[in-house]
Structure 1
Amino acid sequence: MTRTRLPRVPRLPRVVAVGAAVLIAATSLTACSGSASGTSTGSAGSDWKLTTKTAAATGDIDSYSFALYAEPATLDYAYAFDYPDNQVLANVCESLLRLNPDYSLSPGLASSFSNPDPLTWVYELRDGVTFHDGTPLTAADAVASMQRIMDPSVGSAWFSVYQNVESITQTGPMEVTVKTKIPDSQFNLGMGGSAGVIESAATLAASGKDYGNSTGGVNCTGPFQLQQWKSGESLTLTRYDGYWDKDLRAKSAKMTFAIIPDATARVNALKSGNVDGSWMIPLEAASQLQASGKGDVLYAPSSATSNLVVSNTKGTLGDKRVRQALMLALDRKGILKAASQNIGEVSDVLTTKLVWGSASDTATKTAFDDVTHYQQDLAKAKKLVEEAGATGKELVYVTAPIGNDFSVVSQATLAAAQSIGLKLTIKTVTPAQYTALFSDPSAREGVDLFYTVWYLSSPDALEMYGVLRTGDFSNYGGWSDKEFDDTVNKAVGTFDPAERSALTAKAQQIANEELPWLPLAAGPLPLFLGKRITGLQPSMAFLYYPWAAQIGKR
């Protein structure tokens, strides 16, 4: 099956959020559930802990603050597709299902769901839920919220989740039924993120184009409500006392997001104690922050991998042997050391184990162990280039002045290409032009490679491989492989998690061999938690789970 998407918000902002190589670090993430923390060893022997739980709060706190590296572009769930947007929205708006810190799904605004046949999903909404204006949640609100993402005139960033949906209808006082055109296991898995957010239908109609901005705001059901948005300065959330989930009642009466774009100023605000915490701290500042005595640097499980996107398979990189040669020539251990202080591990695949939680043990082993491990081998790489008749051929690599990782990766790629007889030209563009690579095919004309940090928003590794099928909007290089497409399409229609994971493992093996993207590393999410606060469960799920409600007095 060929997928067609409306243009969606590009992944670049997720890379910008990294700043100086936050997410290029890598780990197998085996300690992401079940224990408070695990210890991993970086590829040059650096020890660091993966933390999934902090000490429980001793009580409520009047207020605390977190730093944002940039102002949210929007709080409209239909477009929220970036770190600043989603880490705020996660505490204010809620979805039909809840993506938990261990990347499992549980009931959210839907108290239950069922799949009576392969083309039907039925959601029973939770009684007693109210929006922040006090009005009750109804099935009509759910239908309006979901249909809005399907509306072509909206152009939602999450349209792809709904691409196989035939209809969304109210089938009971608190019941919504979704019919799909083909069996689609991935639709329900997407209901734990922004694609499953439910907003008041009346608010959507009344706010119009101002919905989700600093003027119109939002009216959702989460543990916090948006009190004030001072553009360029801060967003203030206050506890919603009518919140339905007593276990996630906010422990703080107020929390403030301070917008601090400058990395040095952000680090100084944390070191001084003027700001209590921040996700995605620059790794080069980790030792300073830990030594400040103002809090702790933690490393959370992540679903992100850093990769080189092959954006032209009609040129030199159209030959698999050249892609493999470049992979063999890259000094990925050197990249890891220079970009992320050896926090993490080199990866040969495009996913982390965080999104394989429901997979069988056999499938997980197949996906991560029974693959080609690309140890640096220049002699073998040169031979592959010669066999492909590519010696002396040219490549164009596009980068931007965004972070230390951009510089490290671009220079490492240049060195690798030159070492095996390829000519590579680095073209530096503005961040805005770089963003266009992810959304505008014309921006990728004449471009062979660019860098991305790509994270998954559902608890299923199949999300990664769905975007690499023939014709998909995010298949930026036009790569096509029939066996891969057939495998992924079969997996999409498979509802049993163990059976689906076996197919996904096969897709991962094919991608590992064919290299439509070149994986570099995958790693932990660094954050700083000030000494006044605790209770947080560190996880990549902070983009969708109401993490701020857990934080209270240390």
Structure 2
Amino acid sequence: MKPQPAKGAVRLKPRTTPSRITAVGVAAVVAGLVLGGCGVRPAGVTDAAGGAKFTLSDSTPAPAKEIENFNWAMYAEPFSLDYAYAFDYPDNTVLSNVCESLFRWNANLSTSPGLATGVENPDPLTWVYTIRQGVKFHDGSEMTADDVVASLSRHVDPEVGSFWASAYQNVESIEKTGDFEVTVTTTRPDYVFNASLVGATGVVESARTLEAAGKDYGNSSTGVNCTGPFQFDQWEAGESITLKRFDDYWDPELKAKSQQVTFKMLPDATSRINAFQTGEIDGGFAIPSNAMDILKANKDAGSLYFGKDTSVQSMVFTNLGGTFQDVRVRKALMMAINREALIKAAEQGYASGTDALTTRNVWKDASQETTDEAFDGLLSTPYDVEEAKKLIKEAGAEGGKFVFATASLNAAFDITARAIASAAKEIGLEPEIQTMSNDKYTTLFSDPEARRNVDLLVTSWYLSSTEPLEMYSVLRTGDFSNYGGWSNPDFDNLVNTAYGEQDPDARGKLTGQAAKLASDEVVWGPLYETVTTMWLGKRITGADPSINYMYFPWAAKIGGL
């Protein structure tokens, strides 16, 4: 889930990927996306020889030695290192190594103790957390229950305006009930709240630091003072962020194997890929899809890994009062996009088709039967231009205009945007493309004013836990990330009821029903789901290729070969 601008209050983020592509090349690809083809089936992930396009890895070889430093590529600069506003990939890629949460999100997407050693749920409205003793902040002070209370309470403080406030929607109080015990009381049963504490919602910062820094907390000059295996050192705006090893870290198994890590801001995808191959940059996540085959072939420079993800690339209808007011128009646009061809053109086949807004791996607590039922019940919109045209005509939407916001995040994003625009024109709609800078595009997810005149955008939306309700909760009436202002009382009731269901399978059944309602009304339009990609140069190893890097201190595992 993710909010803003970086998650900024939002949740969302566009995913980073490739570099440049010629206008002629894109035009040719787009033409192929809206012509021909018939069914909407998941795109095959095979190479030219018919073999597997890629395989998922759980880990990488363990390091043999410690190193002094490694450089990591970032496609954009973090919006903030304040965990309350860390809602996007860049923010959390850095912050996960400096600040820690009450629980850890592991590479296999399971949960284990973190800054909390345990939790009890004595009644449906009470959560009691036992706080780990002997943990030190980077300034040397010891973490106590007071710090936990101060940190969690920021999410319910309207003056802070946390992008993660919705996770605390049912919280009534957060109290210290012992030197190392914190009790959270809710106004109604909420079995999603605890699951969210593996991410930004569960981060613990020094209470004294929060008070001293005030509104400057987490910016480039003040940084943060948390408990992770790395500590904040320096932030050169627009250039780099440097972290140094925290030698008094509490967990010996995750003591950083590098004395320092430097995050380099390289917004141009071509520059990033070149830097990977020359060794100037040692690694990076979210590899441009149009560079994957190149990197896979260059084994002398390093290795490309693929791992578990929770991301779905989707169209978000941000204005349901204009051209997209009629569900038939939204459905028609989905049917006008050849998603199988889109996956091949935009992601080079490193993705798979889906009709869902979540990946199956976030349903791990529900039974296979419940999961299958949830996915099988979703609306299918097979590629059919003629049927799409009929729907547009029936809705009286021929010539309907809409503003489509986009940005040149990478080649895949460019191709997707052009394919959508071309599909819209093919069925009689009139899109107005509004191209923004990467930074401005990100603010669309956190600032309602920024998207006031926008009708459609695209996002790669990842979940921060293995709880599918995290996705569907943002589509409730009035939710921060319900960008189109959709409202369905039956949907709201299903989601709210699911929140109070303790049994994971029963909760999954309710979630599946809610998912069907949102799918039938095409509130968001799922295009395809991706995998986590990671490049490690020949000098380093150790990190896990998993979306858990957003909240787990992945950099601490990196050392030398």
- Does TM, normalized by the shorter one, top 0.5? yes
Q: Which residue of 2 aligns with 1:83?
A: 89
Q: Which moves more between the two structures, 200-209 or 95-104?
A: 200-209
Change (3 A) 1:484 1:442: same
Change in Cα spacing, 1:306 to 1:20, as seen in structure 2 (3 Å) is farther
**Counterpart mapping for 1:155-554 below 5 A:** 155-292=161-298, 293-431=300-438, 433-554=440-561
Matched, 1:99 2:105: yes
User: Cα distance, 1:544 vs. partner?
Assistant: 0.3
Residue 32 of structure 1 corresponds to: none
By how many angstroms is 1:536 displaced?
1.6
Instruction: Report the CA distance shift for 1:332/1:248 in structure 2 as closer, same or farther (over 3 A).
Output: same
CA deviations 1:66-97 (Å, max 9, x no partner) are 12223323222122222222111111111111
Question: Structure 1 CA distance, aligned partners of 2:117 and 2:375?
Answer: 35
Flag the 1:488–1:252 CA change in 2: closer, same or farther, 3 A. same
**Secondary structure of 2:83's match?**
coil
Separation in structure 1 between the aligned mates of residue 223 and residue 486 of structure 2, nearest angstrom: 41
- The alpha carbon displacement at 1:398 in A equals 2.5
* CA 1:431–1:275: 2 relative to 1, 3 Å: closer
Tell me the residue number matched to 1:136: 142
Contact (CA 8 Å) 1:165, 1:180: kept in 2 or not? yes
C-alpha distance after superposition, 1:440-489 (max 9, x if no partner)? 43444453322111111122111110001122121111222222211111
2:313–2:459: 8 Å Cα contact kept in structure 1?
Answer: yes
Counterpart in the other structure of 1:148 = 154
Counterpart AA for 2:391:
L
2:126: which partner in 1? 120
Aligned-pair identity (%): 50
Q: Match for 1:286: what amino acid?
A: M
Which of 60, 70, 73 is 1:67 aligned to? Answer: 73
Q: CA–CA distance in 1 between the matches of 2:82 and 2:447?
A: 22
Report the more deviating stretch, 391-400 or 116-125.
391-400
CA distance in 1, matches of 2:415, 2:180: 53
Letter in 2 for 1:222: G
Question: CA–CA distance in 1 between the matches of 2:57 and 2:493?
Answer: 38
CA distance in 2, matches of 1:208, 1:175: 25
- Tell me whether 201-210 or 491-500 shows the greater mean CA deviation: 201-210
TM normalised by structure 2 equals 0.89
Per-residue deviation at 1:393?
3.2
Q: What's the CA shift for 1:430?
A: 4.3
User: Distance between the aligned counterparts of 2:543 and 2:345, measured in 1?
Assistant: 30
Which range moves more in the overlay, 180-189 or 363-372? Answer: 363-372
Alignment check: 8 A CA contact 2:315 2:456 kept: yes
Q: Distance in 2 between matches of 1:213 and 1:422?
A: 43
Mark the CA change 1:53 to 1:99 in structure 2 (over 3 Å): closer, same or farther: same
Question: How many angstroms apart in 2 are the aligned matches of 1:6 and 1:177?
Answer: 31
- Show the counterpart of 1:30: none
Q: Deviations over 1:192-245 (max 9, x none)?
A: 111111111122222333322232222211112223333333333232222222
Structure 1 equivalent of residue 36 of structure 2: none
Residues 176 and 52 (structure 1 numbering): CA distance in 2 closer, same or farther, change over 3 Å?
A: same
1:242-300 superposed Cα distances (whole Å, 9 cap, x missing partner): 22222222222322222333322222221111221111121222233333311011122
Cα deviation for residue 139 of structure 1 reads: 0.5
CA distance in 2, matches of 1:447, 1:237: 38
Cα 1:427/1:533, change in 2 over 3 Å: closer
TM-aligned CA deviation for residue 373 of structure 1: 2.8
- Alignment-mate amino acid for residue 122 of structure 1: V
Give me the TM-score of the superposition, normalised by structure 1.
Answer: 0.90
- Unaligned stretches of 5+ in structure 1? 22-39
Q: CA RMSD in A?
A: 2.5
Q: Decide whether the 8 Å contact of 2:9 with 2:162 is kept in 1.
A: no
Over residues 103-148 of structure 1, what are the superposed CA-to-partner deviations in whole Å (9 max), with x where a residue is unaligned?
Answer: 2221110000111111111111011111122221100111111112
Q: Distance in 2 between matches of 1:398 and 1:255?
A: 35
Structure 2 gaps of 5+ residues are 21-43
Distance 1:132 1:441, change over 3 A: closer
| Matching residue of 2:62 | 56
Instruction: Tell whether the 8 Å contact from 2:15 to 2:460 is kept in structure 1 after alignment.
Output: no
Whether the 8 Å contact between 2:370 and 2:508 is mirrored in structure 1 is: yes
